[in-house]
Every structure is written in structure tokens, then in C-alpha cells.
Structure 1
Amino acid sequence: MRQEIQVRRALPVNLRQEDLPLFQDSLDIRFERIHPVHLKHVWILQDTVLSPGEFKFYSDHTHIAKLGPLQFAKRIAYCAPKSWRKISKGMWVIDEWSANYFHWMTDCLPRIWEGLDRDPKSPVILPESFRSLAYVTESLQLIGVEVE
């Protein structure tokens, strides 16, 4: 089911005039909503989701540009020798822009809320690099969501 969404944003009151060109194209925008994908028995390889049973990478949900065979091979080679941790369930809500404050607030948090609607006890799978970002940890604490 495809769903187009139009977003009209007001300028923030603290926006400096010289920064306006950075946000001008984002004030009135249309985009297609990508619905959640429910997967079982997947691996997280750095920043990409892999379904080993299908040998399918779900990089279209985690990256803006397509990843090629070399990028996939690097992720497998880098992650294969590492120790693995198994979790029974979790939500992967990040993509390559998620560490940015704006994208965390406007992309990741809505994904988390939608995930919690589906399963209120499902934890958010959060890479170590995100655990040092105060706006990430504080927003997750405010929501009261468990972190893996």
C-alpha cells in the first residue's frame, strides 16, 4: 500500500537568515511513506540488515544510495569474526542519516512509535555509536522504551 505524505514546515524562530538556503527545499515537501517490514531471523551487519535464509540485504531500508557487492562483502568480512549476540526481538529504526538530530526526531521517533503500536515490549536495537548522543538516549528514556 503506497501512501504519499505532504509536509509543510514553518521556519523555526531561531533560524538565522544565512541558514535559510539549507532548509528552503524542506519547507514544503512530498514523499512516499515506507511501511515497516517485519523480518525474522536476521543479522545486523554494522548498519545493514541481512536475512541469511534468503541471503537478502535490506539496504534499501537503511541506505539512501544502493550498496554494491563490494560494500556487502566488506560488511560480511568485517562482522563475521566478531562475537554475536542473540536477541529474541527488536526494532531496527535507523538509516544512514539517523545520527543527525533532525532525522532522529522526524524519522526514527515516528518509526519507534509505530513499532510500539505493533509490539509495546519490543526493544530498539541501538548501535554503540548512538548511545553517546544525548538527544537519542534522552528521547528513548522519555518514551520509556527498552534498548538492546
Structure 2
Amino acid sequence: MIEQTLTVVSTKGRLAHLQAEQQQACEGCNGRCGSQVFAKLFGTAKKTFPYQFDKQLSVGQKVTLALDDSHMVKHAFAVYMLPLLASFSFALIAVGVFAVSEGWQILAAVLGGVIGFLIAKSRVKSLKHSIKVIKIHPISLPLTQIDGD
């Protein structure tokens, strides 16, 4: 199980929009590694996603959710391997069955990659996430110093 603590950023009834805190891949390189460079290039726009709870939550409240690891493997296979396998298959069929020139083989490989991408896109939409609520954290009040303490 992959666990993540998220913050409620908005609510509408029992539907809460959750936002995860972005975590740095590592702190050892002080921003000189590839993950830091890509984060700077592509921005750090924070994404939210809706989730329906059994009870109403408050803005700022923390929630810990868990996702089954097996779903991540299915998604990774669909997104990465299907277009690649379709591309290779189309190229091999083009050379083996039709005995076409190199230009047509490349075109067949690109066509296979696009078809594999479309199949992967439809498969990812059909995969259901098994998200479980692990803990709903109580709202904590900020500590303030009281005169005389």
C-alpha cells in the first residue's frame, strides 16, 4: 500500500478536494540533480482531486489515503509497454509480412505507437482505483503563547 497525507483545500457537502504536499526527490544535491531541473522546467503547479467522504470535512484538515500497489503496476504497463509493444509489432509485421522499405517500416512503427497509446488511454480510464481512507486527522489549533506563561 502506498500512503499519502493530503490536505483538504475546498469542500462541497461531503465532496472534498484534496491536495498533496510536493516532496523533493532528494535533498542531498541542493538542486543540481535531474529531478530538480525538471521540477523547475515544468513548474510546480499543485493538482487537486475530488474524493467523496462519509462525513463532511473542513478546509485545512489532513487526511491519510492509501492506494493498492498492484494498480500502479497495471497503470505503468498500460502507459509504457502497450505503445512500445504495438510499435515494435507493427514494424515487424511491416517488414516480415509485407516486405516494405525502411520508410514504410518507420511509418508502421509510428502508427503502431499511436494505436498503442490510444489503447493504453482507454485501459487507464477503465482501471479503477482502490483508494482507502486510513485516517482523518482532527483539526489542530495553532499554539499561541498566553500572557503569563
TM-score range, shorter chain: under 0.3
Larger Rg: 2
- Higher relative contact order, structure no. (Cα contacts within 8 Å, ≥ 6 residues apart): 2
TM-score (norm 1): 0.22
Going by fraction, where is strand more abundant, 1 or 2?
2
Whose helix fraction is larger, Structure 1's or Structure 2's? 2
